[in-house]
Amino acid sequence: MTESEDDWEVDPINPRNWPSTKKWVSTAIVASFTFVSPLSSSMMAPGLPEIADKYDITSSTVGALCLSIFLLSYALGPLILAPLSEMYGRKWVLFLGNIGLLAFNLGCALAPNAGALIAFRFLAGLAGSAPIACGGGTVSDLFSERDRATAMALYSLGPLLGPAIGPIMGGFIAENAGVSYVFYVTVALCGIVSIVGFLFLHETYAPIIRRRRDEKAEDPEKAAIRRAYLTENSPSKWQYLWVNIMRPAILLTRSFVCFMLSLYQALMYGIYYLMFATFPNLFTDVYHFNTGISGLAYIGLGFGFVSATLFGANISNKIYLHQRAKNGGVGKPEMRIPALMFGSLFVPVGLFWYGWSAQAQIHWIMPIIGTGIFGFGLMTTFLPISLYLVDTFAYAASAVAAASVLRSFLGFVFPLFGEQMYAKLGYGGGNSLLAGLAIVLGIPFPIWIYYNGEQIRARSSLAR
């Protein structure tokens, strides 16, 4: 079980009592894991035409599948890896997941056909989901709710900035060295991050730290008796794993708040990956960019994410601290919601701007500006949702995993119908449809949860 806030404060084993430098080093390492994993998911996006030529892929859906299959396993992985991190600790789940990501990306580079490439991409996504499964829980381990916003912003930047930088790198690599070297570069980055993580990443989950401390200090005879008692009277590891695997599904199905926040975040992520799958055609066919230059089209998204991290995290933290001060110094998860309301206004504006400027085929900078506005809104909504989930639910890693499952699933699905949707509706109509969905989910629901979230939490056995 996760301890109460008071237990965290007095426990000397509590990582929240670590020196600030140690906490931020751990957070930065986890953020680097979280950056490399989604970076590898999107680096191949500008090279999709070359991959289609290399493997004789004629279907646009199969071509998009080579990109988005990563997201399907990305959705499934946290269901297993998040509970494993609560059974065995965060560090080794993160480290071994990154080693798996390295190995399967090497398989992608050497894949002899499209089927093998898709299979290795699936396995790479499964391994690469480890930081998504553990990252939110790690931030919760290290920082109390009043200090969490900046650390969560750093962690959240990885899953969003990684996919934006990946295509910029991948476009030039694919054009100048060949698409296989996109995967070799990912292998090298995974190797570097693995070495740093192995040397400097500490275990952050207090129950695991405490258990290991007690096992080392315990008398061998007593330890043997205790293990025999636990073996006889406790559920098996498989039973325990099953209970933990089911927890994200329980959170999604039994908590309306968790489901709706996860659904809105998933919609943003699905649109985000839809852009990855459709940018190559838009900027090569309409704006006549070559493969390398077309990767630069993703700069707008990256700029939006960075500006949101610098600006949005600061605003979010100030709003939270101001409301907490008004409440006598007592913080509530609902105090994260005003920042969500603010960010949700930018999402439809960015989508309308991007879609209709692309439809009119005006200067290429205009759709890129639209994606920057969308990126700002996406990051500014992503952060308060993640913070709300971590603040609200007792099992923080499982709550973040529940959101990531839905998010990654829509990230997998959306690219599969992107070309067909834009062929029917055009870039203007297609993005207007998506903007309408963003308005329906992103405007009224945050207002409702701001005023009613506390009463809902009080009735929930899943909340803290």
Binned average pLDDT, 10 residues per bin, the chain of 464 residues: 41 76 88 85 81 85 83 81 81 91 93 92 91 81 78 75 78 84 92 90 85 71 54 60 76 84 90 80 80 76 81 75 84 86 92 92 90 90 85 76 81 81 89 93 90 81 70
Does the reported pTM lie above 0.75? no
CB atoms within 10 A of CB 219: 9
Residue 288 backbone phi and psi in degrees, to 5: 60, 40
- Indicate left, alpha or beta for 384 from its phi (over 0: left) and psi (-120 to 50: alpha): alpha
The pLDDT of residue 192? 93
Beta pairing partners, 463 = 393
The pLDDT of residue 100? 94
The pLDDT of residue 9? 44
The pLDDT of residue 311? 74
Tell me whether residue 192 is exposed, middle or buried, using C-beta atoms within 10 angstroms of its C-beta: 0 to 12, 13 to 18, 19 or more.
Answer: exposed
Write the CB contacts of 321 (distance below 8 Å, at least 6 apart in sequence): 146
Q: Taking each helix axis as running N to C, give the angle between helix 90-109 and helix 114-128, from 0 to 180 degrees, rounded to the nearest 10.
A: 170
Q: Going from the N-terminus, what domains does the chain have, and what CATH number goes with each?
A: 5-458 (1.20.1250.20)
The pLDDT of residue 76? 82
- Please state, in angstroms and rounded to a whole number, the distance separating the CA atoms of residues 164 and 382: 15
Tokens 């390492």 belong to 29
